[in-house]
Amino acid sequence: MDLYGTLGASCARREILTAMFQAGMTGARLNLSHTTLPECASLLEDEFWPAARQAGVEASLIVDLQGPELRVGRLEEPVPLREGSSALLGAGGIPVPRSVVEAARPGDQISLDDSALLLTVEEAGPDRLTCRVERGGLLKSRKSLALLGREVDSPTLTAEDRANLAQAGRFGVTHVLQPFVRGREDLLTLRSALAELGLDQVKIMAKIENRRGMEKLDEILEEADVICIARGDLGNSMPLWELPSAQKRIARTCRAAGKPFFVVTQLLWSMEERAVPTRAEVSDIYNAVLDGSCALMLTGETAAGRHPLEAMEYLAKTARCALRDLNPDVSLFRPEGGGNRNKTSKLGDSVQWRT
């Protein structure tokens, strides 16, 4: 089974990454909504790849593109949004995509940072939105944004995405995560861009993040190499209590089609601050494995959290427990106390999917 972390300031040292690989990590995600591949040259060439070699892991490097995903622009410093106060989006205020300003109407709601913050549009002008803060907090640069109940027209690949893909071969990228896949055409566009760059070997991971992706899942399955159940924005597109059902339906459809899939978002969210996860979190991981997930991915837990190594250890140990229960006669991870410490198995093919 593949276990992925996300690269960021919290794990950006070779010794931490080496320990994470030794704990069971098989690869890492790089979120290109916040940076570029050339900006991460030192992180990749001096820290990530040397750590993988030291741990004896044939690591995967996954780049998560910007794609059609909507995000707040860059802020000079975090912006406090107080419940009940007004917030200006667009010209003269918090930078947001122009397409959001054009699509929003009074009464619409805007979620920020995976629904951590919530705004209601009170006035919609030609270049700005005046909003009331319903759920406040601290807004940081490049956090996710969703205009609830409306579709906003966005390109499959941004200019920044294409520039990053042009550098993918240089930096050893093995997989591309395409956000907010809306149907077959998004994946054909990405595959064509990869082919033009001689990157046909790079695997495409399609992120299912809204109802449209769910509605088009059958055709997405035909074009993607792997499906990613991305629960952050997927949870913004429906009442949150419906999210578990949506996750199960996607997993069931993937199993029936024989398409690998994995689960991401808030698997160990509390460990961004706490050294020990909640009981609900480890149960979530265990059940994702039993549902047939071929991989698990941590995001903020390793990129920005206080306990990146401990988070990876809990992820690996919980997955190991679930895989043991699925395959009691198969050794799926190297022994904790010995064995060949220079080799980590990739084990997605070993999981017996349940239908």
Other C-beta atoms lying within 10 Å of the C-beta of residue 83: 12
CATH 3.40.50.300 fits 2-69+154-350, yes or no: no
Taking the domains of the chain in order of start, what are their residue ranges?
Answer: 2-69+154-350, 79-147
- Check: CB of residue 179 under 8 Å from CB of residue 207: yes
pLDDT attached to residue 343 = 39
Q: Is the dihedral of CA 301, 307, 309, 310 positive or negative?
A: negative
Active site residue 207: yes
Q: Is 163 exposed, middle or buried (0-12, 13-18, 19+ CB in 10 A)?
A: middle
Could you say which of 29, 143, 216, 320 is catalytic? Answer: 29
Other C-beta atoms lying within 10 Å of the C-beta of residue 286: 16
Name beta bridge partners: 2. 295
Active site residue 74: no
Could you say which of 26, 71, 143, 318 is catalytic? Answer: 71
Q: Give dist(CA 229, CA 186) in Å, integer.
A: 17
Active site residue 71: yes
Name beta bridge partners: 5. 28
Could you say which of 265, 299, 302, 344 is catalytic? Answer: 265
Q: Is 343 exposed, middle or buried (0-12, 13-18, 19+ CB in 10 A)?
A: exposed
Task: Report the CATH number of the 79-147 domain.
Answer: 2.40.33.10
For the record, the structure tokens of 81 come out as 């949004």
- Check: CB of residue 6 under 8 Å from CB of residue 31: yes
Could you say which of 143, 191, 207, 320 is catalytic? Answer: 207
pLDDT attached to residue 237 = 86
Q: Which amino acid is at 225?
A: D
Active site residue 158: no
Unique residue bearing structure tokens 């988070």: 311
3 state SS of 250: helix
pLDDT in tens, the chain (355 residues): 999 999 999 999 999 999 999 999 999 999 998 899 999 999 999 999 999 999 999 999 999 999 988 889 999 999 999 999 999 999 999 999 999 999 999 999 999 998 899 999 999 999 999 999 999 999 999 898 989 988 888 899 999 999 999 999 999 999 999 999 999 999 999 999 999 999 999 999 999 999 999 999 999 999 999 999 999 989 988 999 999 999 999 999 999 999 999 999 999 999 999 999 999 999 999 999 999 999 999 999 999 999 999 999 999 999 999 999 988 765 444 444 444 434 333 434 434 433 3
- Check: CB of residue 119 under 8 Å from CB of residue 134: yes
Q: Give dist(CA 228, CA 324) in Å, integer.
A: 23
